[in-house]
Structure 1
Amino acid sequence: MGDAPGVDGQTSGRVVVMRHGSAEFKADAVALYVSRPEVTIGQVAADLRINAPTLRNWCRAADSGRL
């Protein structure tokens, strides 16, 4: 992992981590949410730096066997 290149080819100083596409990350995120019933989906999503609707969609997919 490294810095993301900017428009001019220079690094922006940001680190881009591609976690959202990983099936393992999705499954782990859902498992974390399920294991913490006292925490809201928004709080778990914020901890993971993803949007709450994204985590909600992953939970629904896991419930229906599509994750």
Structure 2
Amino acid sequence: MAASLYPPSSREPAEKRRALAPDIENAFQAFSQKVFADSALSKKTKRWKRREWQSNLKRGSGDGD
């Protein structure tokens, strides 16, 4: 099997991102809370978005918080 295209997942990139740009992180978290609030999006769209987010976590593009 070929080597993974993405590096192994770790918390370090997310922690560094938070330290360097806390306002952007806070804005993203606030946006996420609104998007996933009841009736903000259809259940189908939320389900798709969660799967995409989980897929990104597996590839190391997020930290799971």
TM-score, scaled to structure 1: 0.30
Q: Which one has a bigger Cα radius of gyration? A: 1
Name whichever structure is richer in strand by fraction.
1
Name whichever structure is richer in helix by fraction.
2
